Structures are given as structure tokens and as C-alpha cells.
């Protein structure tokens, strides 16, 4: 993810983690700290929590309030989890299964449960630290998830999973803790969504929201604090990959126009559109309007990757964002943590579409692997005629990492390697859009290099 879309360009003073949909290895992987590549320490969620705890402690020592957004990448695949958590579920008979047990991969579910056990332990560490710092009473803590499970497993009997706009794909837990102002045991029956987080937190913290555009979300403060208000029968829209469903307090209209009474049929087993034509029509009309207003604004074409901001001079261009040409291919179907391999010809290349914000001189580095027999290949980076190049003089052929830590065989994610940096020297980039091309000028052996990413650093 490139600045200004990077977390450091979105208001976060500190960022530690990985800017990608998923990662290929969870034990001491390569991560990022405010733009710099770093090596993680230990299991990722433990490591993320350690950094969050330090951030909280440092803020407290400075006498400053803090906002900490701690995102865990589990229970997403690859299904890797430390032994001390997995042993509890290894071989365990599952009491709760998916509504269609034949679809469930039981070993994957066991690994997911072990991952959730790890999450529970780490959340406990956060809560304990708040107690130790004597600020738990007046600290807002929210625990929630982004979507339904990414495999077929128990989900309260709800229909769908991740990637679905049915209840099982979009309904998630939401727990909030603020002892000073929210009574323990408070339950909110009204529907809500992630769009409500910004207005709710701003309202609770008494911070005015300044936005050029109207917010879709609503502040949940009156519902959380027990205030008596007239709450509207709102409609929340769920969208993924052009599939949209509409949910009000009682009904869900799915992407196919089927209507379900969620108060009586939370598993979405009976279509009641014929019995409630007015409700179906009202939700369909609202859904169509939302599509016109929102989906029409979503660009279908990919935008170029942004480069060259003086306030954040380092830009990472991972293989995920590149396009292979010729015989070059990705190391796996899922691009997020992949690398480019099978570079056999000088006619082959890798490209990234860029939008350069600042014209200037950039230091270019490629992270590579290369077999001993392929040392001597010459690599060049080109942008609108400007070029930087270097010869590979050092072999670096590490093994793939990840298979022995997987609790179940992975399907889409790439295994990873430790890649070595190779300086390509300086390259002058002109302001504006253009295509960055990585090519091999000379391949004396059977292949050129494998490529994990290009890093461009704007020089002062």
C-alpha cells in the first residue's frame, strides 16, 4: 500500500504490520514499521500485541490520550498457530458444525479455533495492561471482526460465509467496553454496521466530525448509554464484488431479490417475498438507489500506484501490484504475498503503473533471489526512458518457508522466501503517470532473478 493511502498517510503516527489482504507466513515474517522493512519477532498476533502495548505505555508516559487500532490477521489462512494453542484442539471432536457438515474441513476448523484462542489470550493482555496503567475505567475498548468465516464452519446456522452478502458473510460480533459510561450487560438489538464506528467514537469522545461528504453511519451513543430516542428503521447495505443485499431491522433482501424475515428465520431458509410484496419492493427500491448513488462512483479500472511524497519518501511496489509479461508467473494464485518467478527470457518483463507525485531522483532497490548458476544476469529498471541497472553478483537461493508450520495444506497463498536487496542505483522519475518496467538485459544462465518487490526512495 502506497502513500497517501498508507496508514501513515491516513492519520496514524505509528504503523507496524503488513499492508496486504493476507500474509504468507506468521512466524517472524518480514513486516513494515512506518515504511521501513523490519523482521517481526515471534507469532504475528503476539508481536502486534507487543507493539500495541508499548505504544499504549509510551503514550501514557507522555500523558497523552491514544487511539490504538489493533488488527489481527487470524483466523485467516494460512492456518498457522503455535503449538500451545493448537494442542487444545488437535484431534478434538467438534460439538458445533457448519449447517452442511459435508462442506466443512474439520482440520481447518480446529486450526481456526486455536487461532481464536490465541486472539482471546492477546485481547486479555490488552485489557490487563489497561488495568495496570489504571485507565481501564475511562478507556473505550471495541472488539469486532470484518466478515464471516473464510471456510465452511459453525456460524450460528447463518447462511453464507466470507465473500457472501448473506447474514453469515456480514454479521460479526461487536463488543464495547467503557465502564465509566456504558453499563455492563447493555445489549443493543438495533442493527448497526462498521459505518457507525466513526460517528460513534467521535460522539463518545466529544470530537466534532469534519467531512465534506455526509456520513452514512450513525452515532450509537444513545443506544449504548440508555438514552431514550426515536431510532429509525434504517437500511444497511452490504456489498462485495457487485453483489448487494439490503437489511432493515426485520428483513434482509438478498442479491437475488429473495426476502427473509430475520426475526423469525435468521438462517434465511424461507423466501417470504411473495407474502410481503410491499416490504420487498421498498427494500429493492432502496437497494437500486444505493447502487446508482454508490456503485456508479466506483471505478472499475485499476488506478496507478502513487510514488514520490516528500513527507513519506519510501514507496514499496510489491509483486502483488505488478503485472508479469511473457513466461514470468506468480508463485501462487493469490497475489497478496506472492513473488515473481520463472523468468527465462530477456523478452519477459514486469511492470507497475505509476503516478509520480514528485519529479526527482530516486534510489531503486529490488528484493531478489538468484541461483548460483544464474549469477551474472543484468537487471534494468526503466521509466519513460530513464534507467537504472545492476548486475547480480551474489547468489541467494533460500528455501521456501511455511509448509512445516501449516496445520492444513494451503490452497491459494504463496509460500515465502527471504529475499536479498540489490541496489539498482539511481533513477530519475518524471512527474505524472507512466509505466515502470523491470527487465533483464542479459541472462547468461537458465533464468534471471525471482522478484519480491521494488523499493523506490525519493532523495532529498
Q: What are the sequence ranges of the domains in the chain? A: 7-232, 234-298, 305-458
What dihedral angle (degrees, nearest 10) is formed by the CA atoms of 155, 80, 54, 199?
Answer: -30
Instruction: Give me the architecture of the 234-298 domain, per CATH.
Output: 2-Layer Sandwich (3.30)
- Looking at residue 301, its pLDDT comes to 81
- Looking at residue 325, its pLDDT comes to 99
CA distance 192 to 195: 8
**Crossing angle for the helix pair 106-132 and 44-61, to the nearest 10 degrees:** 10
Global pTM value: 0.95
Beta partners for residue 382, in sequence order? 387, 437
- Looking at residue 302, its pLDDT comes to 87
Find out if CATH 3.40.720.10 is the number for domain 7-232.
Answer: yes
The more confidently predicted of residues 242 and 189 is: 189
Angle subtended at Cα 210 by Cα 3 and Cα 244, rounded to the nearest 5 degrees: 70
Query: pLDDT tens for residues 396-444?
Result: 999 999 999 999 999 889 999 999 999 999 999 999 999 999 999 999 9
User: Which has the minimum average pLDDT: 160-164, 183-187, 189-193, 300-304?
Assistant: 300-304
CA distance 299 to 295: 8
Percent of the chain scored above 90 by pLDDT?
96
Question: Average pLDDT in the 246-263 region?
Answer: 98
Buried b / exposed e along 232-261 (16+ C-beta atoms within 10 A)? eebbbbbbeeeebbbbbeebbbbbeebbbb
- Looking at residue 250, its pLDDT comes to 99
Find out if CATH 2.60.120.260 is the number for domain 305-458.
Answer: yes
User: Which has the minimum average pLDDT: 27-31, 127-131, 146-150, 362-366?
Assistant: 146-150
DSSP letter for each residue of 229-250: -------EEEEETTEEEEE-SS
- Looking at residue 242, its pLDDT comes to 86
Query: pLDDT tens for residues 42-93?
Result: 999 999 999 999 999 999 999 999 999 999 999 999 999 999 999 999 999 9
pLDDT band for position 298 (cuts 50, 70, 90) = confident
Angle subtended at Cα 457 by Cα 7 and Cα 59, rounded to the nearest 5 degrees: 35
Cell numbers linked to 285 = 427500491
Amino acid at each position: 500500500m502506497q502513500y497517501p493511502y498508507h496508514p501513515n498517510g491516513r492519520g496514524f503516527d505509528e504503523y507496524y504490520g503488513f499492508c496486504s489482504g493476507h500474509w504468507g507466513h506468521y512466524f517472524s515474517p518480514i513486516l513494515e514499521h512506518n515504511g521501513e522493512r523490519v523482521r517481526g519477532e515471534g507469532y504475528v498476533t503476539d508481536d502486534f500485541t507487543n507493539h500495541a502495548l508499548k505504544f499504549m505505555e509510551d503514550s501514557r508516559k507522555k500523558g497523552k490520550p491514544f487511539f490504538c487500532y489493533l488488527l489481527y490477521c487470524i483466523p485467516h489462512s494460512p492456518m498457522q498457530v503455535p503449538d500451545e494453542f493448537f494442542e487444545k484442539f488437535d484431534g478434538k471432536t467438534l460439538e458445533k458444525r457448519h449447517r452442511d457438515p459435508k462442506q466443512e474441513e474439520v482440520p481447518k476448523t480446529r486450526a481456526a479455533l486455536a487461532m481464536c484462542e490465541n486472539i482471546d489470550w492477546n485481547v486479555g493482555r490488552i485489557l490487563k495492561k489497561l488495568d495496570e496503567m489504571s485507565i481501564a475505567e475511562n478507556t473505550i475498548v471495541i472488539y469486532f471482526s470484518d466478515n464471516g468465516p473464510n471456510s465452511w464452519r459453525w456460524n450460528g446456522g447463518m447462511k453464507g460465509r466470507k465473500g457472501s452478502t448473506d447474514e453469515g458473510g456480514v454479521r460479526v460480533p461487536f463488543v464495547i467496553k467503557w465502564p465509566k459510561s456504558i453499563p455492563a450487560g447493555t445489549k443493543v438489538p438495533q442493527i448497526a454496521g462498521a459505518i457507525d464506528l466513526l460517528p460513534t467514537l467521535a460522539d463518545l469522545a466529544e470530537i466534532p466530525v469534519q467531512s465534506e461528504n455526509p456520513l452514512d453511519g450513525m452515532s450509537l451513543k444513545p443506544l449504548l448509554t440508555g438514552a431514550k430516542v426515536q431510532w429509525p428503521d434504517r437500511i444497511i447495505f452490504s456489498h462485495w464484488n457487485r453483489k448487494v443485499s439490503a437489511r432493515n431491522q426485520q428483513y434482509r433482501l438478498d442479491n437475488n431479490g429473495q426476502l427473509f424475515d430475520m426475526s423469525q428465520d435468521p438462517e434465511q431458509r424461507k423466501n417470504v417475498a411473495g407474502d410481503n410484496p410491499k416490504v420487498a419492493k421498498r427494500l429493492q427500491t432502496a437497494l437500486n438507489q444505493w447502487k446508482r448513488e454508490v456503485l456508479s462512483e466506483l471505478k472499475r479500472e485499476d488506478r496507478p500506484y502513487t510514488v514520490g511524497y516528500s513527507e513519506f519518501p519510501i514507496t514499496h511496489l510489491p509483486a502483488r501490484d505488478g503485472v508479469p509479461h511473457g513466461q514470468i508467473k506468480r508463485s501462487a494464485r493469490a497475489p497478496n504475498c506472492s513473488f515473481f518467478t520463472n523468468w527465462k527470457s530477456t523478452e519477459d518483463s514486469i511492470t507497475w503503473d505509476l503516478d509520480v507525485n514528485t519529479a526527482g531522483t530516486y534510489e531503486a532497490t529490488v528484493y531478489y533471489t538468484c541461483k548460483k548458476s544464474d549469477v551474472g544476469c543484468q537487471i534494468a529498471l526503466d521509466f519513460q526512458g530513464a534507467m537504472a541497472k545492476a548486475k547480480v553478483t551474489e547468489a541467494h537461493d533460500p528455501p521456501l518457508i511455511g509448509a512445516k508450520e501449516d496445520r492444513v495444506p494451503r490452497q491459494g497463498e504463496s509460500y515465502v522466501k527471504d529475499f536479498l536487496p540489490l541496489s539498482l542505483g539511481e533513477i530519475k522519475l518524471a512527474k505524472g503517470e507512466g509505466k515502470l518496467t523491470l527487465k533483464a538485459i542479459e541472462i547468461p544462465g537458465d533464468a534471471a532473478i525471482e522478484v519480491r518487490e521494488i523499493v523506490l526512495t525519493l532523495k532529498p
